[in-house]
Structure 1
Amino acid sequence: MSNKILFCATVDFHFSSFHLPVLEWFKQQNWEVHVAAQGEMELPFVDKKFNIPLERSPFSRNNLAAYRQLKDIMDQNDYQIIHSHTPMGGVLARLAARGSRKKGTKVIYTAHGFHFCKGSSLLNWAMYYPIEKNLSRLTDCLITINNEDYSLAVNHRFKAKQIEHVYGVGINTERYRPIAQAEKALLRKALSYDPNDFLMFYAAEFNRNKNHQLLIRSLAKIKDQVPQAKLLFAGRGSLQEECRELAAQLGVGDRVEFLGYRNDIYKLLPLCDIAVSGSLREGLPVNIMEAMACGLPVVATRNRGHLELVKVDENGFLCDPEQVHEMSNHMLTLAKSDVIKQRMGKQSSEYIKKYDLRQVREQLSRIYTPLMEHPAATAELLQLSGLR
């Protein structure tokens, strides 16, 4: 069996956003790295990339074609490890890898947030829980990224051979870091922001789950009390125009900036005052971790991912996803008090340390290393040494 690994996810953007350090680590170990996902993006540290028609929707017919292509890719390559991400990437890759597992291939799945969790609908539990539990039988290592999912997998006796908890995908705290006030003032001036602007930042795709509308409505509630409050939205998506129209209707069209897709968020975050999120469901949100690394307090909705990162009254505030009044009050508290804002920002910087990229890469290396050993070679070595 050759030193080759296949990574699989729904879209290739997932790897460019979250997993390049892991791809690089495998190249440093002299492994051949393959990626299978939808998209034509060129990825560094990748020897071969397969563009397959994976779709997020479990009901898309394209996923049947994607399954067949994945199975052919696995049959034609002698992978020692297959590591899948995203819900549909995890489902199709593990089903397609059944034959490969019989030949000794190890299969890993990282759950970036189960669709069934505390507070989820009965429909989500009825649909997704049986699928994940049954697929755990086809999983050598199940990696979870928050305590709730880890406890759920253990307590519900998922059948993966190994269940691990890792601190997300890791944050580069050398890139995402706080800056001095003088530097912040210069950056704001360069981007035409006033030193007294109260800048609230949210990086997220415009979809129903990300719930941008809550933040726009909350801004509208405090627009008269905090005349210089602004929302900065980084991201694209199908609901962007709807959100733009809502902002205009509520009289805050000039206070909400739609920045589009950005690859310089590490430059934008440090010049802001707080990070906000209206998300309904999160596994362990990278956007919040990046903001914390930049020393920002957080005002977010209450879900398992935010609960993992935000300690109420310590580094931020949490509220229910429909509570405009509560969200706006928390925004107002931080806008009115530099003391609270600075205290919470320092706590964010402290809390994020365990999520540092170096820590996470060390956690993953401890998981990968035993799976990288060749079973046949190990058995032969034991036999030669008289230990078997």
Structure 2
Amino acid sequence: MAKTMLMITSVASMIKQFNMDNIAILQELGYQVHVATNFEHGSTMSVEENKKLKIELQQLGITVHQIDFPRGMGTPQMLKVVLRQLSIIVKTNRFYFIHCQSAIGGLCGRLIGHKYHVKVIYTAHGFQFFKGSSRLSWLTVYPVEKYLSHYTDNLITVNQEDFRLAKSKFHAKQINYVPGIGIDVKAISDAKVNRSKKRSSLGIPDDATVVLSVGELNDNKNHSVVLNALGTINHEDIYYVICGIGDKKAELLNLAKRNNLDGRLKLLGYRTDVTEIMKAADIFVFPSFREGLPVSLMEAMAAGLPIIASKTRGNTDLIEDGVNGYLFKPDDSATLAKKLESLISSTSELKTFVTAGIKKVSLFSGLVVRKYMYNIYNSI
């Protein structure tokens, strides 16, 4: 009988965006894969995309389980419901191990694994506590993660800062660094797009300077700092394009008006053609306050875009200031404006950053990450 394993995430988008390659590896190793996540809501994907993912997984021979993970951490009562649902699944299947991800997925997955004596791998896609984060996160989330590390057979971190902290402070049986989830650098780099046609479809002139960001419309992604920076740059041909959904849409549109960018902020929502949009853009800005190891930033590097990113954990694994991009403090719109003006006016700088960026991101390719994950799964 084939060995079975359970993959737990709190939202379905983490399966689609982070784990399809992992599932393929597990199937190659002979595992019957079960996926437990919330296909109903709370995802960065649309409801329709969630439905498509569920069908895709089932067609791959994967057993899917709907778990009513709440948005955010939820209430104790909500967590009891989740733990009860997971308990039923684990009691009725003989799982060889559990691979859990996300803050709440990691919490519930490790509690269930400990209760039923199942081995647990936990991937931390960026701890919520880090250098420069709030004191509250260190007083609340850090102790929980440290405690749960006792219930972790293999803790995977995706950036160097988290890896160093976990090695020095946590108690997992094994602690590994894996360079993110991996991207197909060659496919993104080689992708072709008709820039003029793509821009026309987005309502952007051929001769405009397009600044692109990818990320949810929320406080952490910090798109407002870009709007404030652009408001100080005296170029009427600059457009700011954001791919992502979230509850800050109206707020960002109002901020664009205040910065005289009305009509030049394009909120595109959830997109499946991000690579094409990257190929039609000129500069990629990634202004987050907190990151793990951002996929969209790696994709922008592979797409040949010069980068300006916030100086925060994860981003600093990818960008070396002045070598393959610029870094700025995420609340410093004045410095961001200067960096934007520098890139807009310097062709040689653009080319230098692009060449160095593609070389750097090749270290984070899917082929590299696949070897790490194959070895980890095989060692279980």
Unaligned runs of 5+ in 1: 372-388
* CA–CA separation in structure 1 for the residues paired with 2:258 and 2:319: 32
CA deviations 1:43-84 (Å, max 9, x no partner) are 433521111111243342322200111122111110112000
* CA–CA separation in structure 2 for the residues paired with 1:49 and 1:12: 11
SS of residue paired to 2:25: helix
The residue aligned with 2:231 is 220
Shift of 1:26: 1.8
Shift of 1:227: 2.2
* Aligned partner of 2:155 among 132, 135, 142: 142
The residue aligned with 1:249 is 258
The residue aligned with 1:118 is 131
Q: State the one-letter code of the partner of 1:54.
A: F
* Aligned partner of 1:176 among 188, 202, 211: 188
* CA–CA separation in structure 2 for the residues paired with 1:7 and 1:46: 14
Alignment of 1:181-260 (within 5 A): 183-185=194-196, 187-188=198-199, 193-222=204-233, 224=234, 226-260=235-269
* Aligned partner of 1:364 among 341, 352, 373: 373
Shift of 1:244: 1.1
Instruction: Classify 1:132/1:163 alpha carbon distance in 2 versus 1 (closer, same or farther; 3 Å).
Output: same
* CA–CA separation in structure 1 for the residues paired with 2:61 and 2:182: 20
Matched, 1:70 2:70: no
* Aligned partner of 2:296 among 253, 278, 287: 287
* CA–CA separation in structure 1 for the residues paired with 2:287 and 2:147: 32
Contact kept? 1:35, 1:46, Cα under 8 Å: no
* CA–CA separation in structure 1 for the residues paired with 2:251 and 2:160: 35
Instruction: Classify 1:46/1:289 alpha carbon distance in 2 versus 1 (closer, same or farther; 3 Å).
Output: farther
Matched, 1:341 2:350: yes
The residue aligned with 1:27 is 27
Identical aligned pairs, as a percentage? 32
Unaligned runs of 5+ in 2: 41-49
* CA–CA separation in structure 2 for the residues paired with 1:88 and 1:323: 32
The residue aligned with 2:70 is 55
Output the TM-score relative to the length of structure 2. Answer: 0.91
Matched, 1:84 2:100: yes
CA RMSD of aligned residues (A): 1.7
CA deviations 1:342-368 (Å, max 9, x no partner) are 110111111000110011011100111
Instruction: Classify 1:191/1:239 alpha carbon distance in 2 versus 1 (closer, same or farther; 3 Å).
Output: closer
Contact kept? 2:29, 2:378, Cα under 8 Å: no
Contact kept? 1:3, 1:80, Cα under 8 Å: yes
* CA–CA separation in structure 1 for the residues paired with 2:187 and 2:28: 22
Instruction: Classify 1:178/1:240 alpha carbon distance in 2 versus 1 (closer, same or farther; 3 Å).
Output: farther
SS of residue paired to 1:304: coil
CA deviations 1:214-267 (Å, max 9, x no partner) are 111111111x2x221111100110111111111122210211101111011111
* CA–CA separation in structure 2 for the residues paired with 1:342 and 1:195: 20
Shift of 1:109: 0.1
The residue aligned with 1:108 is 121
Aligned residues: 364
Shift of 1:179: 5.9
Output the TM-score relative to the length of structure 1. Answer: 0.90
* CA–CA separation in structure 2 for the residues paired with 1:198 and 1:215: 14
Based on CA coordinates, which of the two structures has the bigger radius of gyration?
Answer: 1
Q: State the one-letter code of the partner of 1:30.
A: G
